[in-house]
Structure 1
């Protein structure tokens, strides 16, 4: 049984079309691509699409997130930003910053970078946040035939948001990755296939995971969008799996970490492991 997982991102992947890049969806908002890499030579575009039945307004902003050893992303207040994080916020430019989308109406967000003179080589990253702006609740006229309500009434309105990394690379940067020991662990949500993924170099690494049984061509497990950012040298990759697949993953396996298919799918790292 093949299990496919969208690994690093917080929201499930969707498709805009057969030839379109992967997209993220939350609520009625679809965003593509799921990450942006800029080298300063030219800008790019991010496409938003409202797949709902009503118009919706979204606010676009930049924020700082740092990866943890567990693979999560912590939001960092700007007051606690490092010089590199502050530089990323200052150099990344985008427009517009607020959009109202009719149903099934795409909107292009133009993204560019202004590299300051003398900027040191390295990777600079901020995360672009697309957050829904809730409609104002219209006032309801009092009905004289009904008694006035008493007590406190609370209405909860969910506010959806999507973040994608905006990465600026300056200079000739390199990276290598190493796959550590693998295991089937138990999380609060059930079993998970886990292994340590180490990174060395001066930029992030990003790609797909494929787990196969020696001598069997069809993968047991596929996971897309697994990243290790420069602020961590190693992270734990934890991929939730159903109990029946967890049992199949135990024993000898081959783990391959490869580049995104959009840039060729070359091997970043691979290892033979015995899963316990």
Structure 2
């Protein structure tokens, strides 16, 4: 009975956060933000497999790319980039979980003396430790099978000083995939602040001479990191049937930005544009 109550309690906790999983590890939340008033936060891990799993926790230094995704910082960039890991603490640094078991990992930041205002970020990486299987049925057989390492990382941010943020959608365009009857909504965003943003991008379609608007696409958990001046988001429009009307794109905040409209853009579709898109 106690196990059932605990499972229900854990499920309620997870329902309030964004989730992600690597193979058999459930991670919540998938983004942490610390500041001078709240210098610590927790990440909840849960083993959703039927086997005992072990994971190593460490830091990875990544730079966001304008077209999406990340790359590792170069050695030169490591010297000048605002990295959080230099002043961050993890407890514990390795976990072993039986099936269905959860573990809370505490992440904290220790503010350094004379630390400049700004945003500091590193990525917390969870790496599944391999299981080594040795064939013991034949003593002379020394073949060893090592499982492939799986890893996943989440951004951890520490903000110092006055928090100023903003962004603007500069342009929205469409690319039509006739073979699959899909369209990609390309959204060009420009930074208007010194801090990163996180939210969901939604696209809504309203035909001409209609008051009814329909959501045609969504991109959840889109991060606009502080080192980028410009970035691009792509939202898939399923069941593409374009006609004259208005395509509205809105970037709505989540987590610390919940309830905030970060930016929006209206694209009026004309018959001439339709002919150009379909050609």
* Bigger shift: residues 225-234 or 156-165: 156-165
Query: Is residue 48 of structure 1 aligned with residue 71 of structure 2?
Result: no
Residue among 105, 109, 114 paired with 1:113: 109
Instruction: Check whether the contact 1:121–1:170 (CA below 8 A) recurs between aligned residues.
Output: yes
- 1:91 is aligned to 87
Q: 2:222 aligns with which of 216, 222, 226?
A: 226
Aligned pairs, how many? 252
SS in 1 for 2:85: helix
Shift of 1:47: 0.4
Give the conservation status (yes or no) of the 8 Å contact 1:259–1:268.
yes
**CA contact under 8 A between 1:255 and 1:271: conserved in structure 2?**
yes
Identify the range of structure 1 (253-262 vs 117-126) with the bigger mean alpha-carbon deviation. 253-262
Question: Which residue is 1:202 aligned to?
Answer: 194
With a CA cutoff of 8 Å and minimum separation of 6, indicate the structure with the bigger relative contact order. Answer: 1
What's the TM-score once normalised by structure 2's chain length?
A: 0.80
Shift of 1:155: 5.7
1:267 is aligned to 261
Structure 1: stretches of 5+ with no match in the other structure: 1-14
Q: Deviations over 1:13-71 (max 9, x none)?
A: xx944743111111000000111000133311100000000110000001111111101
Q: Choose the corresponding residue for 2:67, options 70, 82, 90.
A: 70
Assess, with a 3 A threshold, how the Cα gap between structure 1 residues 251 and 217 changes in structure 2: closer, same or farther.
closer
TM-score (normalised: structure 1): 0.81
Offset at residue 141 of structure 1 (A): 3.7
Query: How has the CA–CA distance of structure 1 residues 122 and 262 changed in structure 2, closer, same or farther, with 3 Å as cutoff?
Result: closer
